[in-house]
Every structure is written in C-alpha cells, then in structure tokens.
Structure 1
Amino acid sequence: MTDRLGHKQTAAMLTLMVLGREVPNPELKERVGFTLTGKERTELNDSGYVTSEKAGRTFVHQLTDRGWAWCEKELGAGTPPPPRPQSTLCSVLYLVLGGFDGFRRDRNLRLADVFGDSASPEPAEDLETRIRVAYRELVREPRGWVALVDLRPKLGASAAEVDVVLKELSRSGKAHLVPEDNRKTLTAADHEAAIRIGGEDNHLLSIEA
C-alpha cells in the first residue's frame, strides 16, 4: 500500500500524472480549481514526489520518478484516502482507477508510457510560432505592446517553456520585454504572468515585424 496523502495533495498528484509535464499554478487553478501552495506543496517537495520551481511570480510543478511510482501504487489502492469522502463519485473514481491499473499491469505498461508523451517539451520553434500568432491577434498596431497576462492563456504551454522562448527572443533582439510603467494598474494576474529578466519583472511584449 502506498503512503496515503490528503485529498488535495492526491488530486494534485493525479492531475500532474495525467498532464505528464510541468504545470504552473494558474493552469492547475483553471483545470481543477485549486493551486499547489504552502504546506501542501512543501510536503510534496520534501517527500521527493514533486519538484516545484519559481517561474516569474508563480510555481511550476512536475512529478519526479518517485512521484510517478507513488501514483502507480495509488491507482491500485482501491479506496480514496481518509477521511472517507461522502461523494459516491469519488468511490466510483477509485473503482475506475483500479480497473485502469489492472489493464496497465496486464500489458506491462508504466504510467509514463500512457501519459508521458505530453511530458516532452514542445519544440522551441513551434512555441515561438504560437507566440507570434497570439501576439498578432492581440496587438493593435505594428510593434505595439501586448500584456503577458493576455498572451499566456493563448499559448497552451507551461510558464517555464514560454519563458525560455521569450528570453531567447529578447536576447536575440527579435522581441522586447518591458515593465508596466504604471504599477498601480497591475493586478495579481499581471504579477503572476510577468517574466523576470535582469532582476526586473517585465509585463509587456513587443515583437519585431
């Protein structure tokens, strides 16, 4: 039997399993309604199940090999972790997970074989193209400024992957990243979407034609 985790930690682990890649807190919030923060995050980090790194203002999480192994055991647990939830759906979910676990074992499959394809980082050139397309959709004039908080949701990639491409575009002079002058207008979402370069948070992007 696996070491059981709390309900929220278990949900986070299974979500990271299914997505099979780095997942930033904003995406967790959008997909499952919560973020992985505070004691719940640090406990998973300390256990060696999850790595969490800062990307801008937010954390990005990914399962470790030990985390994948925990998920494989959890699928065969048969019942939800205590305290036993009132929802019948949760009990049925574990029945389904157990059936899937039996199917996987019969075929000698690892969870990474099933969900691992999405763990491969997207080629930088493909993500750069998507950034350029999203920028053109948002910009109002040639080489105008677009807020990163508006750009990121259109990309379907982790914050860490996007940051790598944006930093390379900035370094090569193909794009420019600057802070918002009027800091009073910045929202929590703006701060979370910012990219930190040279010790400064940048909120706006302009791409050369």
Structure 2
Amino acid sequence: MANTVTIERLTIDDITSRIRRAYGVHTTQTYRGAWMSLSNLAERVDLTFNEIKAGVLHLAQTDRQCVIAPESNQRTLTGLDRELAVRYGGQDNHLICWS
C-alpha cells in the first residue's frame, strides 16, 4: 500500500485570514496598531514563505487599513527577515500593521 499525501490548496482568502488571525493574537499581547515583523508572523502562522509573501502583498494592495513598511534599521535584519521581505512600492518591506 503506497503512502499518500494530502495537499491542502489554500485560496488567497484563506491565506489572508490566517495572517489576520496571527496578527490579531500578536496585538492582543501588545496593542492594536503595533508593528509586527514578517519573520515574527511566519513563526505564528502555518503558511509557506511564498504564501505569506503573497498574502501580505494582497493585503497591502486591497486592504486600506493594512500597512507594510521596510525596517528602518536595516542592520538589525536577519537572513529570515530578508527572505520574507515583500517587494512593494519599490522597497523591500519587513513589517506589517493595521491602523
């Protein structure tokens, strides 16, 4: 009997919902409107890097309250921060928040 693997196919709505939920948990521990690094987000959500990047980009383009921004102190970025950066507005963005 062969082993089978079930692959879950997520829609962009599924992905953005998971991102919002992970951010919501983060902000209940800090405060609403707090910046969250995409690397911190990746630790809190069960998504691939490509799914996170696609979801964050979609949110930035479609949700007027979602803001993404580059880390101002680029020297503090880790390899993971750089890998998860979302290119938008001509910049690599590493942080997300909702206003």
TM-score (norm 1): 0.42
Which residue, out of 85, 92, 96, partners 1:194? Answer: 85
Deviation of 1:192 after TM superposition, in Å, equals 1.8
Which residue, out of 145, 153, 173, partners 2:35? Answer: 145
For 1:187 and 1:181, how far apart are their aligned partners in 2? 13
Structure 1: 5+ residue stretches without partners:
1-102, 105-110
Ranked by relative contact order (alpha carbons within 8 Å, sequence separation 6 or more), the top structure is 2
- Counterpart residue number, 2:16: 128
**What amino acid is aligned across from residue 188 of structure 1 in structure 2?**
G
Identity of aligned residues (%): 28
Structure 2: 5+ residue stretches without partners:
none
For 1:182 and 1:162, how far apart are their aligned partners in 2? 22
- Counterpart residue number, 1:77: none
For 1:192 and 1:147, how far apart are their aligned partners in 2? 12
SS in structure 1 at match of 2:92: strand
- Counterpart residue number, 1:178: 69
* Paired residues of 1:169 and 1:175 also in contact (CA < 8 A): yes
Q: Which consecutive aligned stretches of 4+ in structure 1 deviate over 4 angstroms post-superposition?
A: none
For 2:78 and 2:50, how far apart are their aligned partners in 1? 21
Cα deviations across residues 105-125 of structure 1 (Å, max 9, x unaligned)? xxxxxx7xx22x31x431222
Corresponding residue pairs, total: 96
1:86-97, aligned counterparts within 5 Å?
A: none
RMSD of equivalent CA atoms: 1.8
1:60-99, aligned counterparts within 5 Å?
A: none
TM-score (norm 2): 0.81
